[in-house]
Amino acid sequence: MTEKVATRDAYGRALLELGRRQDKIVVLDADLSKSTKTALFAEEFPLRFFNVGVSEADMIGTAAGLATSGYIPFASSFGVFAAGRAYDQVRNSIAYTRLNVKIAATHSGITVGEDGASHQTLEDIALMRVLPNMIVIVPADGGQTYQVVETAAAYEGPVYIRLGRPKVPGVVPHDTPFILGRAQVLREGTDLAIVAAGYMVAPALEGAAELQKEGINAAVINMHTIKPLDVELLVHMARKTGAVVTAEEHSIIGGLGGAVAECLSEEYPVPVVKVGVKDTFGESGSPEKLLHKYGLTAGHLVEAGRTALQKKGQM
Amino acid sequence: MPVLSKADIKEIKSKATGLRRDIITMLYRAGSGHPGGSLSIIDILVVLYYKVMNVDPRNPRDPERDRLVLSKGHACPALYAVLADRGFFPAHYLDSLRKIDSPLQGHPDMRKTPGVEMSTGSLGQGLSAANGMALAARLDGSPRRTYVILGDGESQEGQVWEAALTASHYRLDNLTAFLDSNGLQIDGWVREVKSLEPLADKWRAFGWNVLEVDGHDYASLLEVTGRASACKGLPTMIIAHTVKGKGVSFMENQVDWHGKAPGQNEYEKALAELDAGGRD
Ligand SMILES: Cc1ncc(C[n+]2csc(CCOP(=O)(O)OP(=O)(O)O)c2C)c(N)n1
Ligand SMILES: [Mg+2]
């Protein structure tokens, strides 16, 4: 396994490299540039960096205005503010207008840790994915984040990129291309498919290895693009395995689990067991303790895998 | 900036009267919409679109064009009337306002209507977008200007003041804002719902060059717009004192005419008044 890297750190560096190659890239932040890592870009390109202060709604609107004039703005804040505080601005000034704005939201999910519930967005995937025209991407590791930043810049239209605070291990093999809307099978399996995103991809791989010891052969899919969802691969895996577990650092309502369940209920109904935060707010604590308390570890995925198999037997 | 002769003023007035007719007719045919706030800004739009702004209907996406954001999007009938008259789209589009499949939506849609620079309707967002456009112009090293029109009720939105700080912090002297100070919002007089006073002082305190004008006086509007463009280092807010419903006597200063269309009798009465030369 390679060195651990936080996806926000990879974002900061990717943005800097992108900025060196493309002079239409501009970056906005709302007084969190040291945490979102846009400070790297700001230092090298002060004229293409706009700190609007603590005003996320204004940041989103300003980004929209820059996009109308041919710039490619990356607007960053914590997910809870970028998606939540500025929701109407994202909806009306970016999604409805189909403007070429990239929202790179860091500190998503429960792994924000000690700052507690006010800062842990567990609903941003749901909020963003319901907006027409919005692409929603959750990179699984540092290397993938690089690819996602490149892909988002090349794509014409609004993109929400969900990034995390803690360091995560490399999970996607280096030579794997990133294709928008094409999920990645990181581990083949026949008994059940664990569909994971972001931080939860690593525990999904661990969980699958555990299940193997029990003789259960679980596939692991990195569903990096939540919208548009890779329906083809999902249906293929559901058909092949007959049972699905979803894993995300987000509410079990409306996120990856919701998207997978919506899709399979229409296309190929199989039991779907959702691992995520169970319709509750988070709290302060270390990321590790929080992941345990809120049911987001490899162990919880193993349990969910067993449950899914039981349900499959009953169907 | 050109000075207006008596003949010019007469011509602009007759243009504005024709556009007021279009607004009333459009709303009558649509059966819904916002006459009050459309009639209060039409004179500002006429001065901008016929005397000030660099826009070319034959090349509506020209990167060097001036931009206008109608932040108080519900007043779009006024903008549509002007854009049609300037030739951005055929006049018959006006008959389809608010109807199914129409390019003229109930609130401005930049993807559906030629000449509309920003989709608005959710109040409070236009100044931020205009700031972004002005920042883009500066990055491009372009002399193009950005104009934005805000409502007074709209100015109760927090985002307006976030954006006010952004514009002054970045010294956006290529931005001219108008505040349509017609004194009314949906639930009544702005000063009774939630007062903005002292309004000019607030914008000054937020770092803006503030000018005040009679929003129905063409010569003065042209003059302050020129002064705004000449101001260096600060964005300019032009507080335009206007009359909601201006030009149709029974709509003037009437809160009820914020968001309803005239019925047939009202429509005929309004047109007769406008044809008779309007009221001064
Ligand atoms: C965010 C938002 N809240 C509420 C409304 C509903 N609304 C439409 S117009 C209006 C009053 C606006 O008053 P003002 O800005 O003074 O407009 P004008 O008098 O020029 O018509 C309101 C509350 C809206 N369009 N957007
Ligand atoms: Mg008003």
Does residue A285 share a domain with residue A137?
no
Last residue of a domain, one of A103, A138, A168: A168
Does residue A64 share a domain with residue A158?
yes
A118-144 confidence digits (pLDDT tens):
999 999 999 999 999 999 999 999 999
Does residue A204 share a domain with residue A156?
no
Which residue among B122, B136, B169 sits closest to A65, beta carbon to beta carbon?
Answer: B136
Q: CB neighbours of B229 closer than 8 A, spacing ≥ 6?
A: B1, B145, B176
Half-sphere exposure of B50 (CA within 13 A, CB side): 25
Q: What integer is the mean pLDDT of B8-24? A: 97
Contact A135, A158 (CB under 8 A): yes
Q: Does the structure show a pLDDT above 90 at B61?
A: yes
Domains and CATH numbers, chain B: 6-275 (3.40.50.970)
How distant is the Cα of B142 from the closest Cα of chain A, in angstroms?
A: 11
For residue A175, is it within any domain? no
Q: What's the pLDDT at A314?
A: 75
Angle at Cα A28 formed by Cα A23 and Cα A30, nearest 5°? 165
- Judged by CB atoms closer than 8 Å, whether chains meet at B122 and A92 is answered as yes
Q: What's the pLDDT at B278?
A: 52
Strands A167-168 and A5-6: antiparallel
> At B267, is the pLDDT very low, low, confident or very high (cuts 50, 70, 90)?
very high
Does residue A54 share a domain with residue A161?
yes
Distance CA B263, CA B261 (A): 6
With CA atoms as reference, report the closest residue to A309 among A235, A178, A214: A214
Does residue A198 share a domain with residue A146?
no
- Judged by CB atoms closer than 8 Å, whether chains meet at B132 and A88 is answered as no
Q: What's the pLDDT at B277?
A: 79
Does residue A193 share a domain with residue A148?
no
Does residue A154 share a domain with residue A83?
yes
Q: What's the pLDDT at B3?
A: 81
Distance CA B246, CA B43 (A): 9
Last residue of a domain, one of A110, A139, A168: A168
Q: What is the CATH number of the domain that holds A122?
A: 3.40.50.970
Contact B129, B110 (CB under 8 A): no
Packing angle, helices B6-30 and B76-85, rounded to 10: 120
Q: What's the pLDDT at B279?
A: 47
A85-113 confidence digits (pLDDT tens):
999 999 999 999 999 999 999 999 999 99
A159-189 confidence digits (pLDDT tens):
999 999 999 999 999 999 999 999 999 999 9
Last residue of a domain, one of A137, A168, A199: A168
Three-class DSSP category at A145: helix
A62-93 confidence digits (pLDDT tens):
999 999 999 999 999 999 999 999 999 999 99
| Interface pTM, i.e. ipTM | 0.93
Does residue A45 share a domain with residue A115?
yes
Does residue A248 share a domain with residue A279?
yes
Q: Is B25 on the interface with A (CB under 8 A)?
A: no
Question: Does residue A288 have an active-site annotation?
Answer: no
Scan for tokens 């319901």, then name that residue.
Answer: A130
Distance in Å, CA B47 to ligand 2 centroid: 20
How much is the mean pLDDT over chain B? 97
- Name the percent of chain B lying above pLDDT 90: 97
Q: Does the structure show a pLDDT above 80 at B1?
A: no
For residue A226, is it within any domain? yes
Contact B133, A65 (CB under 8 A): yes
- Indicate which residue's Cα is closest to atom 22 of ligand 1: B186
- Judged by CB atoms closer than 8 Å, whether chains meet at A71 and B136 is answered as yes
Q: What's the pLDDT at A3?
A: 84
With CA atoms as reference, report the closest residue to A122 among A298, A294, A259, A2: A294
Q: What is the CATH number of the domain that holds A300?
A: 3.40.50.920
Nearest CA in chain B to A64: B129
Pocket-forming residues, ligand 1, beta carbon under 6 Å: B 36-37, 40, 72, 74-75, 121-124, 151-154, 180, 182, 184-186, 244, 258
Angle at Cα B136 formed by Cα B131 and Cα B137, nearest 5°? 100
B193-238 confidence digits (pLDDT tens):
999 999 999 999 999 999 999 999 999 999 999 999 999 999 999 9
For residue A254, is it within any domain? yes
B window 104-133, beta carbon within 8 A of A: 109-111, 117-122, 124-133
Q: What integer is the mean pLDDT of B112-121? A: 98
Q: What integer is the mean pLDDT of A242-249? A: 98
B136-183 confidence digits (pLDDT tens):
999 999 999 999 999 999 999 999 999 999 999 999 999 999 999 999
How much is the mean pLDDT over chain A? 97
Q: CB neighbours of B86 closer than 8 A, spacing ≥ 6?
A: B49, B50, B55, B57, B115
With CA atoms as reference, report the closest residue to B131 among B180, B89, B173: B173
**Catalytic residue, candidates A3, A43, A44, A56:** A56
A191-201 confidence digits (pLDDT tens):
999 999 999 99
Scan for tokens 């309803």, then name that residue.
Answer: B260
> At A313, is the pLDDT very low, low, confident or very high (cuts 50, 70, 90)?
confident
Q: What integer is the mean pLDDT of B43-64? A: 97
Please name the helix (run of DSSP H) or strand (run of DSSP E) that holds residue A226, with its range, or none. strand A225-227
For residue A299, is it within any domain? yes
For residue A71, is it within any domain? yes
Based on the number of CB atoms within 10 Å of its own CB, is B232 exposed (0-12), middle (13-18) or buried (19 or more)? exposed
Amino acid, res. B227 = R
> At B56, is the pLDDT very low, low, confident or very high (cuts 50, 70, 90)?
very high
Amino acid, res. A47 = L
Does residue A210 share a domain with residue A163?
no
For residue A82, is it within any domain? yes
Distance CA A186, CA A200 (A): 13
With CA atoms as reference, report the closest residue to A33 among A52, A6, A10, A5: A52
Does residue A191 share a domain with residue A42?
no
Scan for tokens 């794997």, then name that residue.
Answer: A176
Packing angle, helices B35-47 and B76-85, rounded to 10: 40
Q: Does the structure show a pLDDT above 80 at A2?
A: no
For residue A74, is it within any domain? yes
For residue A110, is it within any domain? yes
Contact A110, A250 (CB under 8 A): no
Name the domain count of chain A. 2
Q: What integer is the mean pLDDT of A260-276? A: 98
Q: Which atom of ligand 1 is nearest to the CA of B74?
A: 9
Does residue A137 share a domain with residue A55?
yes
Q: What residue numbers bound the domain in which A291 lies? A: 184-314
- CA B20, distance to chain mean position in Å, is 13
